Structure 1
Amino acid sequence: MNRLLGGTAALAAFFTVAVSASQSGATVFAAWEVANVEFGDTLNVRKYPAGTSQKQSAYPYGTVLQMTGKCTGGGNLLEISNQPAWKQEQAVRYRWCEIWHDPAQNGNFVTGWVYGKYITPH
């Protein structure tokens, strides 16, 4: 994966749609946002898809997340992206979905996992 360095505009563009080359072809990132968290609370991002896994970061309601498309149980956000938002939410409600983020805000992007109950299509 290419590292994204500096610039608010570049970061905003990345959060809209990012494409990176890999051996198996191109990977397209889907934008989803944090939802369904209580006022003042945050959504934890975990290193692995489990509530007991190491916490990498936390994001408040409305934060746009870059989803890799991969969810546990064989879920794929890109395959359901043409469905209504409520149906997409329902498809991931009890799954962990992978994100691409910069927890240290230093340009070093890594993957992490969020629980589907707390995200919605952007």
Structure 2
Amino acid sequence: MKSCVRAALALAVVSTVLAVSGPSHATAFAAWQVVGVPFGDTLNARKYPASTSQKQAAYPNGTRLQMTGRCTGGVDLLDLSGQPHWQQRQAIRYRWCEIWHDPAQNGHFVTGWVYGKYIAPAE
């Protein structure tokens, strides 16, 4: 009987940890910011990595973004983190990178995509 209780308790703990941690690609880090957007314009965050995809939100220059680390073409921002900033920017310049954000500002965070030309490692 004790082993059944221990097994049930272990299963409950594992289930809780998995539910809280979520998918690994959604592990966010806030180390990039919006840069180079023309005056009076904003960087659009989109639902999918395409300029024709639904716009979720818009961010002005200087906004810090929570990146998941994933970019199109298999680029991982964590793999680039040891490189000089100019090399990191060059690696993602023509790629879409995934962010973790709250477009409606209601506590409901979702993933979205921004174009790499307009983001840079935060100083």
Instruction: Please tell me the TM-score bracket, short chain as reference.
Output: 0.7 to 0.9
Structure 1 residue identity aligned to 2:110: V
Task: Point out where structure 2 has 5 or more consecutive residues left out of the alignment.
Answer: 1-19
Corresponding residue of 1:109: 109
Structure with greater Cα Rg: 2
Structure 2 residue identity aligned to 1:111: T
Closer/same/farther in 2, CA of residues 23 and 69 from structure 1, 3 Å limit: closer
Correspondence list, 1:77-96, <5 A: 77-96=77-96
Contact kept? 2:48, 2:54, Cα under 8 Å = yes
Paired with 1:121 and 1:43, the residues of 2 have a C-alpha distance of 15
Q: TM-score, normalised by structure 1?
A: 0.79
RMSD of aligned residue pairs (Cα, Å) = 1.8
Structure 2 residue identity aligned to 1:114: V
Q: Secondary structure at 1:114's aligned position in 2?
A: strand
1:70 matches 2:70: yes
Deviation at 1:32, TM superposition (A): 0.5
Closer/same/farther in 2, CA of residues 73 and 105 from structure 1, 3 Å limit: same
Aligned residue pairs, count? 103
Task: Point out where structure 1 has 5 or more consecutive residues left out of the alignment.
Answer: 1-19
Corresponding residue of 1:53: 53
Q: Which has the higher strand share?
A: 1
Closer/same/farther in 2, CA of residues 93 and 79 from structure 1, 3 Å limit: same
Corresponding residue of 2:100: 100
Corresponding residue of 1:17: none
> 1:5-30: per-residue Cα shift (whole Å, max 9, x none)?
xxxxxxxxxxxxxxx72465993524
Q: Which has the higher helix share?
A: 2
Deviation at 1:31, TM superposition (A): 1.8
Q: TM-score, normalised by structure 2?
A: 0.78
Deviation at 1:50, TM superposition (A): 0.2
Structure 2 residue identity aligned to 1:118: Y
Paired with 2:72 and 2:119, the residues of 1 have a C-alpha distance of 15
